[in-house]
A and B are shown apart, each in its own frame.
Chain A
Amino acid sequence: MRNEDELFVERQLEQPPSMSLPDALRDRVMNAVQSELTIPPRVHRKVATNRSRNAVLVAGIALSIAIVVLVFSGADRGHRNDDIAQSIPQPAPSVETEPLPTVQDYRMALWSSPADLDSLFERPSFVPDRHVNSVNFRSKLLE
């Protein structure tokens, strides 16, 4: 049950406000209303229409860009592995070199003809001791 104080507060709150607005405030509000009314409603609509048109345009452009990106990324996907493979630096094709002479080669050379021995020394990979040449090779080996 509400007490006397609560009823008093309610009555105070519901006291009617002043009968009219101050003239300055009324004039200010009505000036704003007049200014707003001088703008034809179609201008508001046009602004709204332009805004929505711009929004559609921006959305369309964004969608187009997204589609183009997707299409190109999809088309490119088949070649991507090749591209990746190509992008990885491949080792330069090695110059086909003759295998280094083995002990067996030396043994063969030891018992081969001088021409074979010369061919052994002509191999670019064959770097014998600087005191060894095709002439003294056999004797050096036999030492």
Chain B
Amino acid sequence: MNNQPINLTERLAAGDEAAFAELLDALGPKLHRAARRMLYSAAEADDALQDCFVDLVRGRHRLLQVEDVNSYVFRMLFRATYRIINRRTDRQIETHELSDMTDSRSASTIDVIDDTEELEFAVSQLPHEQREVIVLKTDGGMTFQEIAAFLGISANTAASRYRYAIDKLRTYLVQESCETKMNCS
């Protein structure tokens, strides 16, 4: 009689180290980028990723009841990032927002984004609730319905937060592009 776990979730729940390595290899890059977008700090993103996996190991017996492992892992990551944010003494990075970037250069196109760090910085400056949606949509690969369930909001709210965030990012990047090329009217 073969009692060996057959899928990744069961192996994780059984404490199989190789299963955690597989999970880390599969989701690690996305999780790490999501943490960087949430925290805008590579060192803190490293901490968040480690905390996320430690939490997964500690709560591995719950994995058997989890329907969507991807969502569950992102939830663990978000908790880790929230803990780090709460530990911060300097909250200036949390208070900056792009909401005041409302100049009217929307007709311009973004000519140059050769530095992805610029985009990551812009994401990190979004209001927290918009950043969550951006991260879950782009890194978590979730639909608005899944994001709504994840955050406990309506799908319409999730979608509108996403649209507002994209608009702010576009405005910011257009402005940066104009400042770089000095060709905006």
Considering only CB atoms, which chain A residue lies closest to B20 in the complex?
A: A33
B67 to chain A, nearest CB (A): 22
Whether the Cβ atoms of B49 and A9 lie closer than 8 Å is no
Considering only CB atoms, which chain A residue lies closest to B45 in the complex?
A: A25
A36 contacts which of B49, B57, B61, B113 (Cβ < 8 Å)? B57
Interface residues in A88-117 (C-beta closer than 8 Å to B) = none
Contacts of A8 in B (CB 8 A): 110, 113, 170
Query: With A and B bound together, what is the CA distance between A34 and B24 in angstroms?
Result: 13
Range for the number of chain A residues in contact with chain B: 20 to 34
B123 interface contact, C-beta 8 A: yes
Whether the Cβ atoms of A5 and B49 lie closer than 8 Å is no
B63 interface contact, C-beta 8 A: no
A127 interface contact, C-beta 8 A: no
Query: With A and B bound together, what is the CA distance between A21 and B33 in angstroms?
Result: 10
What 0/1 readout, one digit per residue, does chain A (11-48) give for beta carbons within 8 Å of chain B? 01111111111000110111011101100010010000
- For the complex, would chain A's binding face be called helix, strand, loop or mixed by DSSP majority? helix
Query: Contacts A19-B29, A36-B57 given: A6-B166 contact, CB under 8 Å?
Result: yes
What 0/1 readout, one digit per residue, does chain B (48-73) give for beta carbons within 8 Å of chain A? 01100110011011000000000000
Contacts of A25 in B (CB 8 A): 28, 32, 46, 49
Whether the Cβ atoms of B29 and A26 lie closer than 8 Å is no
Whether the Cβ atoms of A37 and B28 lie closer than 8 Å is no
Contacts of A143 in B (CB 8 A): none
Contacts of B167 in A (CB 8 A): 6
Whether the Cβ atoms of A18 and B29 lie closer than 8 Å is yes
Contacts of B134 in A (CB 8 A): 13
Query: With A and B bound together, what is the CA distance between A33 and B22 in angstroms?
Result: 12
A82 interface contact, C-beta 8 A: no
Contacts of B25 in A (CB 8 A): 20-21, 26
Whether the Cβ atoms of A30 and B170 lie closer than 8 Å is no
Query: Contacts A36-B57, A36-B58, A41-B61 given: A12-B116 contact, CB under 8 Å?
Result: yes
**Given A5-B173, A21-B29, A28-B46, 17 other A-B contacts at CB below 8 A?**
A5-B106, A8-B170, A9-B170, A14-B138, A17-B30, A17-B32, A20-B25, A21-B24, A25-B28, A25-B49, A29-B50, A30-B20, A33-B17, A36-B57, A37-B57, A41-B60, A44-B58
10 A-B pairs with C-beta separation under 8 A: A5-B108, A5-B173, A9-B110, A9-B170, A13-B119, A15-B116, A25-B28, A25-B32, A29-B28, A36-B54
**Which 4 A-B residue pairings sit nearest by Cβ, starting from the closest?**
A36-B57, A17-B29, A13-B138, A17-B33
